[in-house]
Amino acid sequence: MSELDAQKILTTAFTRLHREGFNLGVGEYLAALEAIPEWGNTLEDLQQLVRLLWCCSVAEQSKLEMIWESIVAVETPKPKIEAPPQSEPSKVTSQTEKKAPSIEKKLETLEQQPTQEFSPLPIQTPFTPIEIDSDVEFQNYWLISRRYMVYTWRYLRRPVANGAEDLLDIPATVEQVANQGFFLKPVYRRRETNLAHLLLLIDQEGSMTPFHRFTRDLVETAKYESDITQVDVGYFHNIPAEKLYQDPYLTEPVDFANLLSQCDSETRVLIVSDAGAARGYRRMQRVREITDVIFDIKQHTNLIAWLNPMPQERWSNTSAQILSYIVPMFPMNQEGLSQAINVA
């Protein structure tokens, strides 16, 4: 997109769609800007990115098609039409005036010159865009806010009383005094520690590129802003294979078997992927391979849930719809994250 300003087109599209009633905010705008270098460099790629990230229904996709045509008509640079060179007026000198031909010769010369035929040029009706106010208020909207992630992780707990024995147990103390008939000493109990173990399996690149911001926040809040004792992360592309990766750039491989060996029956597994719903794919080979992976996970724990960044209506007739019957799948929003933690 060398001759086009992708950011300018994206900003214009965002403003128009927001004005037309699309539920968009700064989060969607920044996520789209971040995905432009990895998604493509043509107008078609940019339109597909906007449709994938900002449209949540078929009606919104149809509305986007009409709005996008008007945006492209205005923002696309048009070829410059060069005016034909005009011949310079002949300089008449005093000498040529003296040697001017007679009137008869001039008439003969004019009769010999071909007459120029005039034809109408093609005229295109100019496009008049809708006036847009410059003071449009952006809504701070996210699929899941970082603050809500931190709040939700508090409910992922596995309390075990293995801390220091320094908490006064008043009911036990009263019961001991009642049984003995006199008071000797108070009864203390141990502090509880959250020994929860979370395994995050996150799909990267491809159709998941627009959602990297949300998956990054999901990992960071679970690791550094929660009281979960152990958080393991495995990145993959489309299908969790024998080799996963420890980094989101898919450069540090790790054996999937090693991650599963650290799991027990209390380990919670959360898979984050669109499962083909972003591009409407329905591939049975992908379904079979992911089913084998889920079967391997269930050999260690049954606490599995799936977060899908695409809305539930987009799962129909895709691989995601089939996989939702095999493992509990929830949309990647506030309610979906809460339900996934309750299941896992």
Residue 156 lies in a domain: no
Q: Which residue has the higher pLDDT, 88 or 321?
A: 321
Q: How far apart are CA 64 and CA 44, in angstroms?
A: 13
For 4, the token pair is 């086009």
Mean of all residue pLDDT scores within the chain = 80
Same domain membership, residue 213 and residue 338: yes
Give the pLDDT confidence score for residue 135 in this predicted structure.
40
pLDDT bin (cut points 50, 70, 90) of residue 137 is very low
Residue 136 belongs to some domain of the structure: no
Cα–Cα distance for residue pair 328/307, rounded to 1 Å: 9
Q: Which of 38, 56, 75 is the last residue of a domain?
A: 75
The boundaries of the domain holding residue 45 are: 6-75
Q: Of the residues 75, 106, 124, which one is the last residue of a structural domain?
A: 75
* Beta strands 197-203; 230-236: pairing state: parallel
Q: Is residue 132 part of a domain?
A: no
Same domain (yes/no): 268, 171: no
Residues 237 and 179 in one domain: no
Q: Bridge partners of 159?
A: 194
Would residue 128 count as lying in a domain?
no
Q: Same structural domain for residues 242 and 334?
A: yes
Q: Are residues 173 and 212 in the same domain?
A: no
Residue 233, beta-bridge partner list: 200
Q: Higher confidence at residue 79 or residue 52?
A: 52
| pTM for the predicted model, two decimal places | 0.57
- The pLDDT confidence band at residue 324, using thresholds 50, 70 and 90, is very high
The answer to whether residues 69 and 48 belong to one domain is yes
251 in the same domain as 175 = no
Written as one string, the DSSP assignment of 227-240 is --SEEEEEEESSS-
- Residue 313 counted as domain residue: yes
Confirm whether 113 is domain-assigned: no
Buried b (16+ CB within 10 A) or exposed e, 169-195: eeeeeeeeeeeeeeeeeebeeeeeeee
Which pLDDT score, from 0 to 100, does residue 36 have? 78
Reply yes or no on whether the pLDDT at 69 is more than 50. yes
SS3 287: helix
- pLDDT for position 112: 58
Average pLDDT of the segment spanning 186-212:
89
Beta bridge partners of 307: 272, 330
CATH number for the domain including 250?
3.40.50
Residue 159 domain flag:
no
Q: For residues 76-87, give the mean pLDDT.
A: 54
- How many angstroms separate the Cα of 6 from the Cα of each of 3, 46, 66, 318? 9, 8, 19, 31
How many domains, in total, are found in the chain? 3
Query: In terms of domains, do 216 and 337 share one?
Result: yes
Whether residue 241 sits in one domain with residue 210: yes
183 and 286 both lie in a single domain: no
Domain final position from 75, 93, 112: 75
pLDDT: which is higher, 340 or 134 = 340
- Residue 164's pLDDT band (boundaries 50, 70, 90)? confident
Give the residue with greater pLDDT, 2 vs 113: 113
Question: Do 234 and 261 fall within a single domain?
Answer: yes
Query: Do 175 and 274 share a domain, yes or no?
Result: no
Residue 99 is assigned to a structural domain of this protein: no
Tell me the percentage of the chain whose pLDDT exceeds 70: 78
